Amino acid sequence: MRHLMSPLDFTKEELDKIFDLAGDIERHPEKYAHACSGKILATCFYEPSTRTRLSFESAMTRLGGQVIGFSDAASSSASKGESVSDTIRIISCYADICAMRHPKEGAPMVAAEKSTIPVINAGDGGHQHPTQTLTDLLTIRSLKGRLNDFTIGLCGDLKFGRTVHSLINALVRYSGIRFLFISPEELKVPDYITDMLKERGIPYEEVIRLEDVMPRLDLLYMTRVQKERFFNEEDYVRLKDFYILNEEKMKLAKEDMLILHPLPRVNEISVEVDEDPRAAYFKQAQYGVYVRMALILTLLNIQPLPEGGTSC
Ligand code: NCD
């Protein structure tokens, strides 16, 4: 039995298989419509979510399976003091696979240790968000045709943004990737990440102004300032509108630069940019369903049969 805690839990070859499967699901959804019939996904979300939870639920439903769960710690027994370890033991009796989001770093890992069903980390505090990374990689692979040889700018809250941490971890395994980290001083990427990049000899630069590096980027990964991880409101208010990507700034970008964003967006991309053909963030959310369908099939070890049926 396998869990997914970090994008590195899969080899590059395994990721390729998941992306190929996601591509097949996109082209032939009918082949997979009953693949998970009789299976149950539990979504245990101790933190708010729209995309991640609903795309997991949509994925399982589109595979013919069913979904149970909670979307708020207050409506679960966590509010009575139950531990994550106890909760997952119970969920293991009710479901075949579990997606868990938790504000504490490492909580899904603690759950995985006690679980008898696969556990997927759907975001743990400011740490990791591996299924967003699968979504990001599939989007890049589908729209750019490759996962190597590009310059990616990551902009915004690089300190608390777990999607950023997971994406960097995953991208270092591909050749020819150059990172440009664009953030205010207070929201720089953590040292453990830059130390890892130095150790591996992977080129990166840290800058404050987006305009300065825009013309060099093949991909721009925008992020929201993570309000819920700040210790005081004042700092958040000071930093929240540090970056606003607008039409004017987009004039500096390459014609085929892609803009990605895990969403939700607050103010960091103005709505006028949505009409720009380089804006890929809504498409990205669609890829999130295909890749989660492929992930569920992979972790449940369900293989589609050649004639379109499925087997466990
Ligand atoms: C992200 C998250 O929860 O980390 N959202 C998502 O899952 N798409 C990004 C964010 O909340 O800023």
Please write the tens of the pLDDT for every residue from 172-191. Answer: 999 999 999 999 999 999 99
**pLDDT of amino acid 63:** 98
Specify whether 101 is catalytic.
yes
**What is the token pair recorded at 173?**
């395994």
Q: Which residue has the tokens 């595979």?
A: 63
**pLDDT of amino acid 113:** 97
- pLDDT 10s digits, 12-46: 999 999 999 999 999 999 999 999 999 999 999 99
Cβ-proximal residues to 289 (8 Å cutoff; 6+ apart), any chain: 55, 58, 59, 62
CB 52 near ligand 1, within 6 Å: yes
Q: What's the mean pLDDT in 95-114?
A: 98
> Strands 310-311 and 303-304, how do they pair?
antiparallel
Atom of ligand 1 minimally distant from the CA of 288: 8
Q: Spot the catalytic one: 39, 43, 52, 135.
A: 52
CA 241 to centroid of ligand 1, rounded, Å: 17
10 Å CB burial of residue 185 (0-12, 13-18, 19+) is exposed
CA 20 to centroid of ligand 1, rounded, Å: 25
Per-residue confidence at 55, pLDDT binned at 50, 70, 90? very high
Query: Measured between alpha carbons, how far is 109 from 119 in angstroms, rounded to an integer?
Result: 8
How many Cβ atoms are within 10 Å of 40's Cβ, its own excluded? 18
DSSP-H helix ranges across 156-226: 162-171, 191-200, 210-213
* Residue of 194, 166, 191 lying closest to 180 (CA atoms): 194
Q: What's the mean pLDDT in 134-143?
A: 98
**pLDDT of amino acid 309:** 55
Pocket mutation for ligand 1, best pick of 54, 135, 263 (most atoms within 8 Å of C-beta): 263
| Sign of the Cα pseudo-torsion (58, 290, 150, 133, in order) | positive
- pLDDT 10s digits, 298-310: 999 998 655 555 5
Q: What's the mean pLDDT in 215-223?
A: 98
Query: Measured between alpha carbons, how far is 179 from 158 in angstroms, rounded to an integer?
Result: 12
Query: Which residue has the least CA distance to atom 7 on ligand 1?
Result: 52
Residue 17 host element (H or E): helix 12-27
Q: What's the mean pLDDT in 129-147?
A: 98
Q: What is the pTM of this model?
A: 0.96
Question: Residue 21 — φ and ψ, nearest 5°?
Answer: -65, -45
**pLDDT of amino acid 31:** 95
- pLDDT 10s digits, 226-282: 999 998 999 999 999 999 999 999 999 999 999 999 999 999 999 999 999 999 999
Specify whether 223 is catalytic.
no
> Strands 177-182 and 258-260, how do they pair?
unpaired
CB 51 near ligand 1, within 6 Å: yes
**pLDDT of amino acid 106:** 97
Query: Measured between alpha carbons, how far is 114 from 137 in angstroms, rounded to an integer?
Result: 30
CB 163 near ligand 1, within 6 Å: yes
Cβ-proximal residues to 33 (8 Å cutoff; 6+ apart), any chain: 62, 63, 64
What does pLDDT average to over the chain?
96
Atom of ligand 1 minimally distant from the CA of 135: 8
CB 127 near ligand 1, within 6 Å: no
Q: What's the mean pLDDT in 73-87?
A: 92
**pLDDT of amino acid 303:** 84
Gyration radius (Cα) of the chain, Å: 19
Q: What's the mean pLDDT in 87-110?
A: 97
HSE of 281, CA atoms in CB hemisphere, 13 A: 21
Q: Are 151 and 178 in contact (CB under 8 A)?
A: yes
Flag whether pLDDT at 59 surpasses 80.
Answer: yes
For residue 264, is the peptide bond before it cis, meaning its omega torsion is within 30 degrees of 0? Answer: yes
CA 311 to centroid of ligand 1, rounded, Å: 33
Specify whether 80 is catalytic.
yes
Q: Are 168 and 189 in contact (CB under 8 A)?
A: yes
CB 224 near ligand 1, within 6 Å: yes
Q: What's the mean pLDDT in 86-94?
A: 97
**pLDDT of amino acid 124:** 97
* Residue of 217, 227, 1 lying closest to 112 (CA atoms): 1
3 marked ligand binding residue: no
**pLDDT of amino acid 306:** 55
**pLDDT of amino acid 75:** 87
Q: What's the mean pLDDT in 72-88?
A: 92
Q: Are 67 and 60 in contact (CB under 8 A)?
A: yes
Flag whether pLDDT at 311 surpasses 70.
Answer: no
**pLDDT of amino acid 231:** 87
